[in-house]
Structure 1
Amino acid sequence: MGKRLIDVLLIVVATAIAIAVALWLTPMQTVEAVGQTIRVGATAPSWSWSGPGQVDLFGQELPTTVEFSGPVRPRLELTDLQLTEQLTGLAGPDSDESTRSAAQSELTDALVTGWRNYLILQVLIVAAVTVLLLGAVAGWQRRSMRPSITFVVVGALIAVTVNVGAFVATAFSTADQLREIDSLASLVGAAPAATPAPRAAPAGEAGKVVVIGDSTAAGIGNSALADPTPEDTACERTSGSFAAALDRSTGWGVTNLACSSATIRQGLLGDQERGGGQVPPQLARALAAAPGALIISVGANDVRWSQMIGLCATLPDCGGAASDAYFRQQLSAFTRDYLVLLTQLRSLPNPPTVIINQYYDPLSGDTDCVRDLGITPEKEEILRGWLQSMNTVLAEGARASSFQTAQPSFAGHGVCASDPFVQSIDGAAPLHPTTAGGLAIALADQAALLESGFR
């Protein structure tokens, strides 16, 4: 009896190790659906019997809106965002029911196929690892041939049975659960835009550039425009913006539609309340102007970047579980909205050249002047980590959508430098670009446009 109990314990331990190793070793399976490349794998095991799966999007791990059964659930990685008419029509009002149904069926079938292929390979790896582990145990115990074979075979069968039992509920229920999906955006809970992009935007004009975005693009805190419109004043657009610098330093015609406090949802894709009035969605207006190139500066307001800097300065536990969780929550919401923005741009029949701006480091170089504000060197690193996470989302989304990015360098010209590219902490617009900073951003955008072939 004692020997059998030891054998059972050995098989249990080997099963647990084999399943863990298999989940780690089994490669994600690549499938194609509605013009998308999707990799399908599994999440880490959970103690709960149901819950969301996971979607890896632009460097972020987002829970799915679909609840799956079983302790191990699907993990989906959107590796190549190439929007097609099929995908756009999944939930589009202009597509007929048969088109939506065919596209949705293709998406569902591909995801289920990828999951089942992953499961088969994972089961084989579990069996192989169990055989190796129990074979090694049998050899170490110096068992004879027949008992060793019996021990290994029985152990492998038990391991495979336990593993399949953990997966099978999800494997057989996945198809029904995935039928709830009507687009990849809905899979991660990205709400549709309030103002859809025009179905047929005019062809872009050579040498015409439109800038959309937030206060960084508006250039707030610098000298006023010579002849501002009421909207320019409401949105705090200035002559020190990178759009103005780009217009002055090139032969291109540059229009600035950026507005202070704009986010993707309220500013770029939807109306924005500003100065007691409503500013129309920037993207729709930009596309209607038929630009050859579109420069986008967005994300800081979506993740509440200014507030995060203020919180980090005042909280002794900046970077602790609470503040980091809050930032990650804002970053996840931004990632979802960014997907919607990119989807709108990629669905255009003749999209302009698109440049996505990444954000500069306002604390570059000497930072002694911020010590009295409570920003220690340790807090600086936390803020840089958060900034890098936001820039990773921007860069990964641009890459997946085949758009260019521009990364301005403020190296040695941070807030404490003798010739800063950012406004002082007690300035009109703390840590926003000065006129010199706007020029640095303009040069980065110019280089990105020229690299993309824009003339």
Structure 2
Amino acid sequence: MRRRSILLLSAAVPLAAALGLLTAPAHAQTSAYDSTTKYVAMGDSYSAGVGGATTDLDCGRSPQGYPALWAKAHGITSFTDVTCGGAVTVDVLSKQLSGLSADTDVVTITIGGNDTGWGEKVLTCLQSGDAACTAAVDQAVANMPAVGSKVDATYAAIKNAAPNADVYVLGYPNLFEATASCSVWIAPNQFQRKELNRFARALNQTLSASVAKAGFRFVDAQPFFAGHAVCSSKSWIYPIVNLTALHPTADGYRLGYLPALTSATG
């Protein structure tokens, strides 16, 4: 089934987690996508499925990532996965656009996190203390307009390469439960976790603004991960001391990202 129209942004609603971003509807509509849909997954490690069982050693693509799960749930056989762990906006422009065409019906993407140096900010907080953590987050937040410009150019290129596609941009979850008790080997201290979550909110707000300009659909993942970040008793994100640190687990993709996307697409 072909779906030619570009979906518009949903209305903003307040979130319990205080992200203040646009979110997908609480109840999924009947899906317009089926076995005839041509689907392309793009983006970084959060879309590749790093943290799930990995079959692709170069890019970390996993059948437990949300793109593969969503394609399977809709019986989609024309599924092109160009996601890659570590991708920044320049990688999408230079390496991933070739997966798109005028026949593409659906595109999903997470991108922008690596452009902000997210991992470096976490390390600064862990290694250099509270004041340095705040300074690093302040600097990252001040640099968000530059990240927004990179994302704007990326979205424009996607629209040009796949003019008939419905494009869903998925946001990033907060990585940490801010107030829970937690070992330093698992996560930074409470103050630093709050600062890093402030950074995540700023990133998602930047992405949602760029999505609005592009006419795509922003899918806020945070409500679906609420209560399941690092330091939760049932975390869906790997802790610091893990080879796939701060990436969703298989449950994070299955119970967090997949329902978030499905609530927007049906």
Shorter-chain TM range is: 0.7 to 0.9
2:106 matches 1:282: no
Given that 1:214 and 1:261 are in contact with CA atoms closer than 8 Å, whether structure 2 keeps it comes out as yes
Aligned counterpart in structure 1 of residue 109 of structure 2, from 285, 293, 296: 296
In structure 2, the residue matched to 1:412 is 227
Amino acid at match of 1:262: A
Alignment of 1:260 with 2:85, yes or no, is yes
CA shift digits 1:267-292 (9 cap, x unpaired): 2002xxxxxxxxxx112x22148321
Offset of 1:216 from its aligned partner?
0.9
- AA aligned opposite 2:62: T
Q: Separation in 2 of the partners of 1:430 and 1:206?
A: 36
Describe the shift of the 1:355–1:236 C-alpha distance in structure 2 as closer, same or farther (beyond 3 A): same
Instruction: Name which of 315, 318, 322 aligns with 2:132.
Output: 318
Distance in structure 2 (CA, Å) of the matches to 1:349 and 1:424: 37
Q: Which blocks of at least 5 consecutive residues in structure 1 are unaligned? A: 1-204, 226-231, 271-280, 451-455
Q: 1: distance between equivalents of 2:220 and 2:176? A: 15
SS where residue 413 of structure 1 aligns?
A: coil
RMSD: 2.3
> 2:168: which partner in 1?
355
Structure-1 residue corresponding to 2:265 = 449
Query: Normalised by the size of structure 1, how large is the TM-score?
Result: 0.46
Please say if 1:219 is aligned against 2:49: yes
Q: For 2:83 and 2:155, locate their aligned partners in 1 and report how far apart those are by CA, in whole Å.
A: 17
Alignment partner, residue 168 of structure 1: none
Residues 212-245 of structure 1 deviation map (CA, whole Å, 9 limit, x = unaligned): 00011111132133xxxxxx32111122211122
Q: Cα–Cα, structure 1 residues 212 and 402, in superposed 2: closer, same or farther, change >3 Å?
A: same
CA contact (8 A) 2:182 2:231 kept: yes
Q: 1:389 is matched with which residue?
A: 202
Q: Say whether the 8 Å CA contact 2:43–2:92 is kept in structure 1.
A: yes
Following superposition, the deviation at residue 417 of structure 1 comes to: 2.5
Aligned to 2:247: 432
Q: Residue 234 of structure 1 corresponds to which residue in structure 2? A: 58
Q: CA separation in 1, counterparts of 2:218 and 2:71?
A: 19
How far 1:419 sits from its partner (Å)?
2.5
Distance 2:161 2:185 in 1: 50
Q: Deviations over 1:141-178 (max 9, x none)?
A: xxxxxxxxxxxxxxxxxxxxxxxxxxxxxxxxxxxxxx
**What is the identity percentage for the equivalent residue pairs of Structure 1 and Structure 2?**
22
| CA distance in 2 between partners of 1:349 and 1:407 (Å) | 23
For 2:211, which of 357, 375, 398 is the aligned residue? 398
CA distance in structure 2 between the partners assigned to 1:430 and 1:324 by the alignment: 19
In structure 2, distance between residues paired with 1:367 and 1:299: 28
Whichever residue aligns with residue 75 of structure 2, its letter is G
Distance 1:349 1:438, change over 3 A: closer
Residue by residue over 1:23-68, the C-alpha shift from the partner in whole angstroms, topping out at 9 and shown as x without a partner, is xxxxxxxxxxxxxxxxxxxxxxxxxxxxxxxxxxxxxxxxxxxxxx
363, 368, 376: which one pairs with 2:181?
Answer: 368
Taking the aligned partners of 1:361 and 1:288, their CA distance within structure 2 comes to 33
The structure with more strand, counted as a fraction of residues: 1
Instruction: Give the CA deviation at 1:255.
Output: 2.9
Could you tell me which amino acid in structure 1 is paired with residue 226 of structure 2?
Answer: A
Partner of 1:344: 157
| Alpha-carbon distance, 1:324 to partner | 3.7
Aligned to 2:23: none
Cα distance, 1:374 vs structure 2: 7.1
Change (3 A) 1:289 1:400: closer
Over 3 Å counting, the alpha-carbon distance change for 1:289 and 1:216 in structure 2 is farther
**Structure exhibiting the larger radius of gyration computed from Cα positions:** 1
Q: Distance in 2 between matches of 1:269 and 1:304?
A: 19
1:99-150 superposed Cα distances (whole Å, 9 cap, x missing partner): xxxxxxxxxxxxxxxxxxxxxxxxxxxxxxxxxxxxxxxxxxxxxxxxxxxx
Measured in 1, the distance between the counterparts of 2:183 and 2:103 equals 44
- After superposition, the Cα gap between the structure-2 partners of 1:338 and 1:374, relative to the gap in structure 1 and judged at 3 Å, is closer
- Highest RCO, 1 vs 2 (Cα 8 Å, sep ≥ 6): 2
Name the SS of the counterpart of 2:199 in structure 1. helix
What is the count of residue pairs matched by the alignment?
227
DSSP-derived class of the 2:100 partner: helix
1:385 is paired with a residue of what secondary structure? helix
The 2-side partners of 1:415 and 1:319 are apart by 18
Give the alignment of 1:76-87 within 5 angstroms: none
In 1: Cα distance, 2:65 partner to 2:187 partner: 29
Listed as ranges, the matches of 1:47-86 within 5 Å are: none
Gaps of 5+ in 2: 1-34
- Equivalent positions of 1:203-218 (< 5 A) are 206-218=36-48
